[in-house]
Amino acid sequence: MAALKNEDGPLVASEDVKTVGVIGAGQMGSGIAQVLAQSGYTVRLADVDDSHLETGVNHIGKRLQRAVDKDRISSDDRDKALSRIHTGTDYAMFGDCDLVIEAATENEDVKRKIFKTLVPHLRADAALATNTSSISITRLASITDRPGRFMGMHFMNPVPVMKLVELIRGIATEDRTFQVVRDLAIALGKTPAVAEDFPAFIVNRILLPMINEGVYTLYEGVGSVESIDTAMRLGANHPMGPLELADFIGLDTCLAVMNVLYDGLADSKYRPCPLLVKYVEAGWLGRKAGRGFYDYSGDTPVPTR
């Protein structure tokens, strides 16, 4: 099928999406790259330097090896997936991509700089998506040369395991762009959920205030880290307590989302807990930093309060 025409010019058709770029080789970006490669797509994975890329690819390799060990995939499947991932630091590598997914840190200034650097390298018919968990799609799209071909594609963490992808249109996102991105999500074995372009969308609009309230519960001395997490695991049947989950997500990401909610909706119920702010200022960002509401330096996580 030929490329489809719209007001912004040509747009790649769903069945012609073969090569997908991913910007950011961290927890989310490496997970997105992995599921793309396992689904048969050629992947261009970029980050700021080779060490970040090496770490990201190593994590992909370890996850795939665990899947082999559990007989979920074959060693041949593992090798083929890894062979589809091509890394680099120069955005010129995205010149042959049909779609590029930005999955950098949850910081609007960082994302804006990425898009300004990226768009001169893109094909005219390429689509562009962001994995932001909270930032306005419309605002991010406005700094690109293709707001009609730009939308949110918010994967859940860990990407290879979680089935949901939130799809968020900006005010300018065209129907054909939405269809191409939705078709990709389904091809990856994900279930799309459509969200409107409001701060934090659906999942984080509900989840992060719960986590923030868990931090307030600790801050006000209502319960300890262990008692709060135990209460929510056993009392609400949650797989993780809110503080354990915050550490898993990253306390800096939790704070960033709460700030987006607080600034965007101007409602005091979204005010980030001062204790969350303090932990982030201390660099206690959760699992990735080795310390958050739990200390991860030993074999078993130990509550820090």
**Which CATH number, 1.10.1040.10, 3.80.30.20, 3.40.50.720, 1.10.443.10, labels domain 205-303?**
1.10.1040.10
Confidence of residue 5 (pLDDT cuts 50, 70, 90): very low
Q: What is the pTM of this model?
A: 0.89
- Residue 56 corresponds to which tokens in the numbers above? 């990201």
Q: Which position has the token pair 């200022």?
A: 281
Residues 226-242 have pLDDT tens digits of 999 999 999 999 999 99
Q: Are 9 and 122 in contact (CB under 8 A)?
A: no
* Active site amino acids: 133, 154, 166, 204
Q: Supply the Cα-derived Rg of the chain in whole angstroms.
A: 20
Q: Which position has the token pair 């980030």?
A: 272
Residues 122-153 have pLDDT tens digits of 999 999 999 999 999 999 999 999 999 999 99
Neighbouring-strand partners of residue 56: none
Q: Does residue 8 surpass a pLDDT of 80?
A: no
What's the pLDDT score for residue 2?
Answer: 43
Report the candidate in 224, 64, 32, 226 with the shortest Cα–Cα distance to residue 131: 32
Q: How far is CA 243 from the centre of its chain?
A: 20
Q: Does residue 7 surpass a pLDDT of 80?
A: no
Confidence of residue 10 (pLDDT cuts 50, 70, 90): confident
Residues 6+ positions from 76 with CB-CB distance below 8 Å = none
C-alpha–C-alpha distance, residues 143 and 119, integer Å: 10
- Terminal C-alpha separation, the chain: 59
Q: What is the pLDDT of the chain when averaged over all its residues?
A: 95
Q: Residue ranges of the domains in the chain? A: 4-195, 205-303
Q: Are 35 and 60 in contact (CB under 8 A)?
A: no
**What amino acid is encoded at 304 in this protein?**
T
- Residue 159 corresponds to which tokens in the numbers above? 């990407």
Report the candidate in 9, 63, 10, 5 with the shortest Cα–Cα distance to residue 38: 63
Place domain 4-195 in its CATH homologous superfamily.
Answer: NAD(P)-binding Rossmann-like Domain (3.40.50.720)
Across the range 271-295, mean pLDDT stands at 97
Instruction: Output the 3-class SS for 275-298.
Output: HHHHHHHCCCCEHHHCECCEECCC
